[in-house]
Amino acid sequence: MNAPTPTPVQTAATLLDDFAASAQAAQQAEIAVYQQALIDKATHAQIEKAFEAVAQDQAAVSQLMTAGASQASVSAAVAALTAEINGDLTNGVLGVKDAASQAKLKALVTALGSSAQLIAAAYGGN
């Protein structure tokens, strides 16, 4: 017997869960680089602040989806999430002086931005 095809909302929720796990992994990677003294304290603080903002934006997207908000509302919340990723988080990562660490963190952050866009595309709203 074939499994039922997930609804757009279910697909978006799964993508949001995946995004959360990826964001946590990226943050843990940044912390590990900081603990290796490859990031200065000020840059670490900037990146951590950006990760906190990303988590808040992610929570807002989740709340809207849970409430069955419109496609426009979810898209606006995802746009705010993406702006945080492409703004403060990316700028913080670009401040990492160690080239290998910067490349690793930049790849993780770029993947987060792409993941956020998939959430908006998948969500059908009501």
Average pLDDT of the chain to the nearest whole number? 92
Q: Is the pLDDT of residue 8 over 90?
A: no
pLDDT of residue 126: 46
CA torsion 42-90-12-122 (nearest 10°) is 170
pLDDT per position as a tens digit, 109-119: 999 999 998 99
Distance CA 83, CA 34 (A): 24
Please say whether the beta carbons of 25 and 64 come within 8 A. Answer: no
pLDDT at 3: 78
Task: Show the tokens assigned to 19.
Answer: 């995004």
Domains and CATH numbers, the chain: 8-122 (1.20.140.40)
Q: What is the mean pLDDT of residues 22-33?
A: 96
pLDDT tops 60 at residue 5: yes
